[in-house]
Amino acid sequence: MVVTEKSNCKSCGKIVRKHTVTEYCASCFHANKDNVKTQYNALRWKSGISKKHHWAFRGAIISDKEIENFNNEIHCGICGCDFSKSKKCLDHCHETGIYRGALCVQCNAALGKLGDDIDLVIARLQVYKANKVKW
Question: What residue segments make up the domains of the chain, in order of their start?
Answer: 1-47, 53-135
> Of 24-33, 86-95, 118-127, which range is least confident?
24-33
Find which of 30-34, 61-65, 79-83, 89-93 is predicted with most confidence, using mean pLDDT: 79-83
pLDDT value at position 74? 93
Which of the four pLDDT bands, split at 50, 70 and 90, describes residue 3?
A: very low
pLDDT value at position 44? 66
Distance CA 120, CA 6 (A): 60
Distance CA 97, CA 55 (A): 9
At 47-69, the pLDDT tens digits run 666 666 666 766 777 888 888 88
Domain at 53-135, CATH class: alpha beta
8 A C-beta contact, residue 33 and residue 11 = yes
Helix and strand element counts for the chain (H, E): 6, 4
Distance CA 85, CA 106 (A): 12
Q: What is the pTM of this model?
A: 0.55
45 vs 29: which has the higher pLDDT:
29
